[in-house]
Structure 1
Amino acid sequence: MAETAEEIKARKEREKDELYALDISGVEWHGAPGTEEHEERVEIAYLPGGAVAMRSSLDPDTVLRYTEAEWRAFVLGARDGEFDLEPAGPEAE
């Protein structure tokens, strides 16, 4: 039997609660190849169950966590150009 919308929402909330309850103090953070640790960059850490944590090197105490499904959707969207920045204003031309 398929889950109802309420059951899906409750399951996703439980997954997020579990994800944010993980102790990630010992994870290994990775930046994009070719970047240095002292540079401004986005860093990710791989968590159990295919989940991913993400932070800015400038604000390492603020960490976002994504389930495997959320991360997969983000990566596929990025590969497809969904998040490409559009030029804004005359300085971008």
Structure 2
Amino acid sequence: MRDQSRAGVREGDCAEVGRIGDGAAVRDTKNRAAGCFTTTAGQSAAFVAAVNADV
């Protein structure tokens, strides 16, 4: 898992992302014990595209 953060985001308000198969696993940095959710490659690509488009 890698800690993903953005400029201007309050410290601790970020998620960790890791590759799993051809998709990704995402978890809350502040609450790792809560587990993670997984996505397919298509879901990950759609999410990144939406974030980059500021949707």
- Partner of 1:59, secondary structure, is helix
Q: 1:44 aligned to 2:17?
A: yes
**What aligned pairs does 1:1-80 form with structure 2 within 5 A after superposition?**
29-32=1-4, 40=12, 41-48=14-21, 50-61=22-33, 62-80=35-53
Cα RMSD (Å): 1.8
4+ runs deviating over 4 angstroms = none
Q: Which has the higher strand share?
A: 2
Give unpaired runs (5+ residues) of structure 2. none
- Partner of 1:81, secondary structure, is coil
Q: How many residues align?
A: 49
State the Cα distance separating 1:33 from its structure 2 match: 6.0
Structure with the larger RCO, 1 or 2 (CA within 8 Å, 6+ apart): 2
Query: Sequence identity, in percent?
Result: 16
Query: Which whole-Å CA distance do the structure 1 matches of 2:30 and 2:5 have between them?
Result: 18
The structure whose Rg is larger is 1
TM-score, with length taken from structure 1? 0.47
